[in-house]
Amino acid sequence: MLELHRNLIDGEWVGTDAVENINPSNVNDVVGVYARASEEDTKRAIAAAKAAFPAWSRTGILDRHAILRKTADEILARKQELGELLSREEGKSLPEGIGEVTRAGQIFDFFAGEVLRLAGEILPSVRPGLGVEITREPLGVIGIITPWNFPIAIPSWKIAPALAYGNTVVVKPADLVPGSTWAIVDILARAGLPKGVLNLVMGRGSVVGQTMVDSKDVTAISFTGSVATGRRIAAASIEHNRKFQLEMGGKNPTVVLDDADLKVAVESVAQSAFFSTGQRCTATSRVIVTEGIHDEFVKALAERTRNLRVGDALDKDTEIGPVVDPSQLSQDIDYIEIGKAEGARLVSGGERVKRNNEGYFLQPALFTEATNAMRIAREEIFGPVAAVIRVKDYEEALITANDTDFGLSAGIVTTSLKYATHFKRNSEAGMVMVNVPTAGVDFHVPFGGRKGSSYGPREQGKYAAEFFTVVKTSYTLAG
Ligand code: NAD
């Protein structure tokens, strides 16, 4: 019998209604059994977070610092074990899983430091004899709703700043991957968080997520996930006059110019398009290539794509793990069919792969002769599928790169300082990469996009304070 992992509500581990967490590399492997919260459980979690807020918001900064530091230390000490858990439940390769866990530890460490660094401002007033102070205060109860593709990093980069700045939290991980979030909540609870400060409610978006969104006691919502869910959360949040932050989809371009270093271009695109099975919001899915290098680049990239080793996430030879579940797999396959029907040329991959285990394995798919008007170039696929679009020159490449409803990440591969500088200045994405993959970012600097990709203040680094605090301006008559 597998141990039941329960929800954490008001300091108690509770819940009996449970589901199995299935390994996408091997559907016969049950990663664990996890409770599913009801509407009633979720309401109790919100009430507990509300009740815990006044005391927690006034806790000494050294206490908050110590809890976050202790959490960081335990996550980092257990990175191998937690990396295996993550790779088993989500399917990214073990080095990627361990890398993500390491990042979660670094995030808690960073925000442990931020607790001690939160500063305000003191200004002279325009009125003689008055002083003005600008301070930052916690908001209240933060509802955190996360997707399946970064099961430990995304919950960490929301929970850590929320707690660091004195808020209380109700967190709901994606139903597909509750294990990694359960593990960090368990670590935080043992690190000394008072009851009710952090509550975990695992379960369905339509039940648990919707109850959080509908509650007037959730002061702010930090969400990462699809555009459709994000829009629903935005509409409900406006009704409640509530602060919200949305990180959503992407259709990220990498531009490859004639003067690019071919090896850098191929590796950069293969990494960003196909690693983590293409299931990253920052993945490259449009490869915009100028005429002079086009044929040579496509030949080399097709070769690299063909040779990518797809397999069990825990196998040491695996470069690309499985797709996360059957519904994402059928979405990927549907888009591969759509690409062919639209007239793009499938030059590599795109077929199911058989391995010893029964899992959702798909050889990464590379299309050429695509146009930016095709659905495979406009809609987020969220799988290992990329389309090469041929353009005449840099100017056409820039216009094509910006011609999208999204704006999360954009890359350019070039040896020209002139084009690199121009691209950094004129790309309409929130994050721009020169000669590095569009996916893969640092934990101590802001993360976020523009246009349809994001809404609200940036996440991560010291910029996280923008969302997780509210500014107060106080005037004092000095006498
Ligand atoms: P999703 O929108 O289906 O689910 C995200 C979360 O919202 C889950 O926890 C889900 O249970 C919950 N949810 C669903 N319905 C809800 C409702 N009615 N009310 C409240 N919560 C609800 O997204 P997903 O399939 O888990 O994740 C994939 C998407 O996430 C992709 O579009 C990807 O681009 C995006 N993503 C974006 C970023 C970024 O930073 N921009 C990062 C990672 C993933």
Position 2 scores a pLDDT of 86
CA distance 302 to 153: 31
β-strand pairing of 26-35 with 4-5:
parallel
User: If you search the block for the tokens 């000494």, which residue do you land on?
Assistant: 60
90 closest CA partner among 148, 26, 31: 148
Q: Cα of 303 to ligand 1 centre, how many Å?
A: 33
Tokens of 56: 């927690």
Which residue has a Cα nearest atom 31 of ligand 1? Answer: 226
CA distance 402 to 244: 26
Which of the listed residues 148, 150, 229, 379 should we mutate to test ligand 1's pocket, taking the one with most ligand atoms within 8 A of CB?
Answer: 229
Query: What atom of ligand 1 comes closest to residue 230's alpha carbon?
Result: 2
Give Cα separations from 195 to 35, 188, 192 (angstroms).
Answer: 19, 11, 9
Position 17 scores a pLDDT of 86
CA distance 10 to 32: 23
* Exposed / middle / buried, residue 392 (Cβ in 10 Å: 0-12, 13-18, 19+): exposed
Which of the listed residues 39, 89, 103, 145 should we mutate to test ligand 1's pocket, taking the one with most ligand atoms within 8 A of CB?
Answer: 145
User: Would you name the residues annotated as active-site residues?
Assistant: 247, 281
CA distance 139 to 157: 17
Which residue has a Cα nearest atom 22 of ligand 1? Answer: 205
Which residue has a Cα nearest atom 37 of ligand 1? Answer: 248
Question: Domains of the chain by range and CATH?
Answer: 4-248+453-477 (3.40.605.10), 252-434 (3.40.309.10)
pLDDT along the chain (479 residues), means of 10: 93 94 97 97 98 98 98 98 98 98 98 97 94 97 98 98 98 98 98 98 98 98 98 96 97 98 98 98 98 98 98 98 98 98 98 96 98 98 98 98 98 98 98 97 97 98 98 91
Name 156's Cβ contacts closer than 8 Å, sequence gap at least 6. 75, 103, 104, 107, 108, 184
Position 16 scores a pLDDT of 87
Position 479 scores a pLDDT of 65
219 closest CA partner among 8, 470, 465: 470
Residue 207: DSSP 8-state: I
C-alpha dihedral sign at 429, 435, 439, 445: negative
Query: What atom of ligand 1 comes closest to residue 145's alpha carbon?
Result: 9
Helical residues (DSSP H) of 58-199, grouped into ranges = 61-77, 79-90, 94-117, 153-164, 178-190
Ligand 1 surroundings by CB, under 6 angstroms: 145-150, 172, 174-175, 205-206, 209-210, 213, 224-226, 229, 232-233, 247-250, 281, 380, 382, 408, 453
How would DSSP label each residue in 422-462? HHHHH--SSEEEESS-SS---SSS-B---GGGEESSPBSGG
Q: Cα of 380 to ligand 1 centre, how many Å?
A: 13
CA distance 255 to 288: 5
Name 152's Cβ contacts closer than 8 Å, sequence gap at least 6. 82, 86, 100, 101, 104, 180, 181, 183, 184
Name 391's Cβ contacts closer than 8 Å, sequence gap at least 6. 288, 289, 290, 291, 397, 400
The percent helix, strand, coil of the chain (3-state, each to 5) is 45, 25, 35
> CA geometry: angle at 386 spanning 384 and 387, to 5°?
160
Which of the listed residues 248, 404, 453 should we mutate to test ligand 1's pocket, taking the one with most ligand atoms within 8 A of CB?
Answer: 248
pTM: 0.97
Q: Cα of 433 to ligand 1 centre, how many Å?
A: 25
Q: Cα of 369 to ligand 1 centre, how many Å?
A: 31
Q: Cα of 463 to ligand 1 centre, how many Å?
A: 22
CA distance 243 to 466: 11
